[in-house]
Amino acid sequence: MGTCVVRRTALLILLVSVVVSGGCTNNRTDLDYSYNIEQRIPNDGDLPGDMIQFEQVFWEPSDSASLRKLIREDSIAQGRRVLEIGTGTGVIALTCAEHGAKQVIATDINPAAVANARYNAANLDLEQNLEIRQVDEATPGAFSVLQGEPRFDLIISNPPWEDGDIKRPLDYAFYDPGFELMDSILDGLPNHLSPGGRCLLTYGHVPAIERLQAEATRRGLQCKVLDDRDLKALPKDFLPGMLVELRLGRDLIPNDAASRDE
């Protein structure tokens, strides 16, 4: 039996075992079962069970370790409306749903990631307050798939860290051409973040963090690094990622924002 056939058979067996043991069934017409499985991800305590990573979907848990710790231990999502930009396997959005978020909307431009996150949500039985949306490549802005929702109390993202070209869907996890996604996040916060709300971004790339700090300040946003490490002493690329908090500056909070969110 050829190597490719052996691998595909193993992937099929894994998928069947997950379907049988979890909450996801293979007759769900709203789920996409066409992607190969890269690996099963053992439960690390953040979620009620194991996750699955599809091929062409990014997975690096140390990127967002500090963010998931805040969700788990400091209850930053508890009772709040949450938006995740670039959900990948869905691990951060699912962690929010598991730890008491009132509503979670998660987005991704990679179709494999959207299918992956939806599958994991179904398999872990965390769909009730979670919606995963596909971003159109023609309108890739951070908030392009929102449809008049109220402002969010928490906006989170482990975005691509480097400026670079997109040649395949998986590249969206690594490269932000011209840092257009970063800019669209910053530009959209005054219209989508609640007064007193937080935007938490994870970066492990020194030039991206320095650019984020400068661009946030230029736009009147409050910017704070939630990490004890000295950015100047770190290599250009580093793990785990560094968490950066953004809040609306006083001049960016509209007088009627509170009444619109009620």
Q: What gap in Å lies between CA 142 and CA 243, rounded to an integer?
A: 18
Domains and CATH numbers, the chain: 3-261 (3.40.50.150)
User: Which amino acid, residue 91?
Assistant: V
Cβ 86 vs Cβ 92: under 8 Å: no
Q: Are 242 and 213 in contact (CB under 8 A)?
A: no
What are the pLDDT digits (tens) for 160-177? Answer: 999 999 999 999 999 999
pLDDT tens profile 72-116 = 999 999 999 999 999 999 999 999 999 999 999 999 999 999 999
- The DSSP secondary-structure symbol of 139 reads S
In the chain, the percentage of residues whose pLDDT exceeds 70 is 87
Q: Is residue 141 within 8 Å of residue 224, measured between CB atoms?
A: no
Distance CA 222, CA 74 (A): 21
Dihedral (Cα; 222, 164, 61, 118), 10-degree rounding:
90
